Amino acid sequence: MIHRLCALLGALACVAPAIAHAGCGPAPEPCDTASGRYHIALPDTAAGAPVVLFLHGYGSNGGNVIRNTGLVQGFVDRGYAVIAPDAELREPGGRAGWVFYPGWSGRDETAFLTGIVQDAATRFGTDPDDAILSGFSSGGFMVNYLACAAPDSFAAYAPVAGGFWKPHPDSCAGPVRLFHTHGWRDGVVPLEGRSLGGGRFQQGDIFAGLAIWRAANDCDDEKPTGFSRTGDFERRRWDNCSDGSALEFALFPGGHTIPPGWSDMMLDWYEALDD
């Protein structure tokens, strides 16, 4: 029952082999800021370390992300700090969720997320200009909407199992460097989208979202310019786009999950952008 609930919510609470801590650096408590709190896992050398800011799924929290060693250790071993913030409760007594949908009231998530990257830089010396915004499920939706509205906030974006909701955005503010990963058999966030809340909300079509990103990146054609495979990941990319932008899509055969091998694949993509 617990595993079924976590799958439905897109949470990370059920994958929890313990990492050393889930607090504020060496402290057991999370880092507090004026807008909210975050957890952090640091590499051996924190000074100047690049950052992966990873957003949890609906109903979870940043502590669960840090305790997911299958996800976090792959980043830390490659010298990245992992910042895992906590979403706020959507309503009193409710579950934690990101304020990504246009018209929702709540915290200014762009200000909060960019602020904690700066806070971590002050506390631990990590590099605020070398930061990837990533997230799973509800966190992946938040990544897409922030990238669309404020594309210069992070160096790159890497959503997993999250796109846009309908009505899709008419356009985005500018080009991005974005790597989207999705499961072929995802039934929580299907590639085609689905209705939620008795029809009050509609998850959007993932391929329609990619079309929005091609327009934002000013790509010359809808057709991918290249295809590749990394393990079980089938990848396609668009290189015929504006200078400094990047767009890639990776599809894997599983469902609503962060698949094994994703961390290294995504970092390989990111580190090759400026080669």
Global confidence as pTM: 0.91
CA distance 49 to 123: 12
What are the residues whose beta carbons fall under 8 Å from the beta carbon of 46, sequence distance 6 or more? Answer: 25, 81, 124, 125, 126
- Which residues, 6+ apart, have CB-to-CB distance to 92 below 8 Å? none
Q: Is the model's pLDDT at 154 over the cut of 50?
A: yes
The domain locations on the chain are 17-272
Return d(Cα 86, Cα 173) in angstroms, integer: 26
Identify the pLDDT of residue 112: 98
Token readout for 151 is: 């594309």
Indicate the fold that domain 17-272 takes in CATH: Rossmann fold (3.40.50)
Q: What mean pLDDT value characterizes the chain?
A: 91
Structure confidence by residue, pLDDT tens digits, 9-62: 343 333 333 444 568 988 889 999 999 999 999 999 999 999 999 999 999 999
* Whether residue 207 has pLDDT greater than 90: yes
Q: What is the mean pLDDT of residues 175-197?
A: 96
